[in-house]
Amino acid sequence: MDYKDFMITVIDGQGGGIGKSIISKLRKQIDKDKGITICALGTNSTATNNMIKVGADIGATGENAIVHTVSKSQIIMGPIAIIAANSMLGELTPGIAEAVSSCPALKILIPLNRCNIMIAADLGITTESYIDHAVKMVMEHLSKTE
């Protein structure tokens, strides 16, 4: 399949650690010549820069960039906090939460219990294990679209 204009968007805030890990793992499995753009969107420049350093193709920072870009994405990844208004110590604005929640992209979210949302799942496993599983879900989705 031609993946021209296919974009996987990773959204993160604060230090961008979860986004950095997601992008690093995606980059190991998705060749740059496949035509898939990995986009890093940070609520702050530190998060964006940390995600770009590990292999994002493009990146932008702030509410307007996130709201504008998610509608162009086919897959959105990040911590579950990206759909919770005022999470990440207020960095995740209601506008971002609404844009992410209401866009038609497939959303693959990493469960964390730091935004006062509890997931009925085994939160005893590590965040890295959830990220590994999320990347596996992306690769399975991509194989179905070929």
Helices (H) and strands (E) in the chain, counts: 5, 5
DSSP state of 116: S
Fold of the domain built from segment(s) 6-145? Rossmann fold (3.40.50)
pLDDT tens-digit series, residues 48-58: 999 999 999 99
Average pLDDT over residues 1-7: 76
In which band, very low, low, confident or very high, does the pLDDT at 116 lie, cut at 50, 70 and 90? Answer: confident
- Break the chain into its structural domains and give their ranges: 6-145
List the beta bridge partners of residue 58: 39
Over residues 93-117, mean pLDDT: 91
Helix or strand run (H / E) with residue 40: strand 36-42
For residue 10, what are the CA distances in angstroms to 15, 102, 113, 124?
13, 16, 19, 24
**What's the confidence (pLDDT) of residue 5?**
83
- Region 26-35: mean pLDDT is 87
Beta bridge partners of 108: 77
